Chains A and B, each alone.
Chain A
Amino acid sequence: MNNYTISIRPFGQHAILIEWPNIVDEAILEDILQFKTYLAKNFLFPEKWEIIPSYNSLTLVERNFPINFDVLKRNIKQWYSEKRAIKVKREKNLWRLPVCYDTDFGIDLEEVASKVNKSVEEVIALHSKKSYTIYGIGFLPGFMYLGGLPTDLEVSRREAPRQKVIKGAVGLAGKQTGIYPQQSPGGWNIIGNCPVSMFKATRENPIFVSVGDKVEFFAIERAEYNLRVIENEAGVYTIQKIKIDA
């Protein structure tokens, strides 16, 4: 595994920020996640530490006590150089999520299609044929920042955000696509709806996706969508998951 030049900076009394080069790159994300796994397994245990990966950074947060920045910085440098010699095994999954691109849900689908000079069918085909990478989870519980959008589908975010975007809405903005896990205000262009809850308190794993996982969308008709909503509510829908080697 490559080792990158990392920078380590203080982030208040309880946290420290580690940054990789400032680019969106899957190899960098993989290095970050391997280091996260290595730290959580050997040094910074989950009872006391939160480790938050996102794009080109890891933020380490201590639960109760102030950290000693200089000591921790020295340790992190040491641990990062040790990790180079080791192949860290980590769990990585591909999630296949159904999306209904019916125009009842895809309220901006026609506008997006005309902006990118494609037909609605072409937009749907392009969106649902790619594997996306989860570069971060934030903004709302379970909201994924997905990278890997075909350049043909890049549209700027809407000029005026909507006050209300419904739960499950699948959106496009710039180089990103994603799913609103709950109703919220939002400025993304909405092209469909996913009937699977990205957050569900009663599910064994309330938020099943992790940073570094892959996501694919597949198109479903309205009738199947209605069925999946009921299954999802009842907790009997099995989310399609494929293990991949990291």
Chain B
Amino acid sequence: MLKVLEQGLFTTLQDQGRFGFKDKGVPVSGSMDTYTTKAINTLLENASNAAVLEITMTGPTLEFKASTYLCIGGADFVVTLNKVPISLYKVYKVKIGDVLSYGKLNHGFRGYLAIKGGFKSTVILNSTSYYYPITKSRCIKKGEELNYEECQDFSPKISEIKISSILNKNELEIAKGPEYNLLNPLQIKQIFNTNFSVSNQNDRMAYQLQENIEGVNYSMLTSATLPGTIQLTPSGKLIILMKDGQTTGGYPRVLQLTDRAICILAQKKYGDTIRFKLV
């Protein structure tokens, strides 16, 4: 068990998500930055769907009640294990009573904590990813205990890697969305020549951008949306749907982020700058 001493701002369990229920209106959920979770699960030699903790902006303090191994990645927080700072993308052994504590956020927005074998939680619709009310919890709470299987002995094939960080990237690669052709030359110019900044409306459902472009008035029948779909509203707002985003929408889907661009955006917070590049 992992005891939550402090819960942080918004810390959730995430695996690869709930595939197969979009036709019932269920968002896919899952890790926002799969580039990071893939790396840390690989280091621990976990299944690719092993559940990790996704830690947003202000991290938790956690006490281990059984031995295991851990690896952290993603946003650059000051993280200490029994008050000694630890590094990203490195496997550490932890024993009963060890305390992992998240401090200052230096860079990025979402940190990830993986442990050997992954966290165990109730599987609903093929996934343990938190999404209220599909799951009972929205996020972990102080005093709660998270389950995992004890691991005494593990010799990682690779105990540390240097990965090329996506935290400094601010160029998002995008493809044309289904309604791209509604855009006029001015709108296209605005999209590709603007340094956009992330608005305070940003979460696991969607990121909105502060700068508007020329709007589009187009009446379309409700149709599917995906993580990474960029909708353009009549008032010219760009809404980028993320992993908990709704599965259908009625605004033109003008652009679509690549998988990697979703990971880059997931590490952006209020005020950060991004640019778009067509691929």
Interface residue B170 (Cβ < 8 Å from any Cβ of A):
no
Chain A residues with Cβ below 8 Å from B176 are: 10
The docked-state distance in angstroms from the alpha carbon of A10 to that of B27 is 21
Flag if B134 contacts A53 (CB, 8 Å).
Answer: no
Interface residue A155 (Cβ < 8 Å from any Cβ of B):
no
Q: Scoring A residues 119 to 148 as 1 if CB is less than 8 Å from chain B, else 0, what string do you get?
A: 000000000000000011111111101000
Flag if B175 contacts A138 (CB, 8 Å).
Answer: no
Flag if A11 contacts B222 (CB, 8 Å).
Answer: no
Interface residue B178 (Cβ < 8 Å from any Cβ of A):
yes
Chain B residues with Cβ below 8 Å from A56 are: 221, 223
Interface residue A77 (Cβ < 8 Å from any Cβ of B):
no
Given contacts A138-B247, A201-B124, contact A61 B226 (CB under 8 A): yes
Interface segment, A12-20, A94-102, A225-233? A12-20
The docked-state distance in angstroms from the alpha carbon of A163 to that of B25 is 21
Contact of A199 among B22, B133, B228 (CB under 8 A): B133
- The secondary-structure label for the interface of chain B is loop
* Distance in Å: Cβ of B216 to nearest Cβ of chain A: 16
Interface residue B153 (Cβ < 8 Å from any Cβ of A):
no
Q: Scoring A residues 141 to 185 as 1 if CB is less than 8 Å from chain B, else 0, what string do you get?
A: 111010000000000000000000000000000000000011000
Interface residue A194 (Cβ < 8 Å from any Cβ of B):
no
Chain B residues with Cβ below 8 Å from A136 are: 222, 248
Flag if A53 contacts B23 (CB, 8 Å).
Answer: yes
Q: Scoring B residues 212 to 249 as 1 if CB is less than 8 Å from chain A, else 0, what string do you get?
A: 00000000111110101100000000000000001111
Interface residue A217 (Cβ < 8 Å from any Cβ of B):
no
On B, residues with C-beta under 8 Å from A are: 19-27, 124-125, 133-135, 175-178, 220-224, 226, 228-229, 246-249, 253, 256-259
A-B contact pairs, 27 of them (CB 8 A): A12-B226, A12-B228, A14-B259, A17-B178, A46-B20, A50-B20, A52-B22, A52-B224, A52-B247, A55-B222, A59-B223, A61-B224, A136-B222, A137-B25, A137-B247, A137-B248, A138-B246, A138-B249, A139-B248, A141-B21, A141-B26, A141-B133, A141-B134, A145-B222, A199-B133, A201-B134, A207-B26
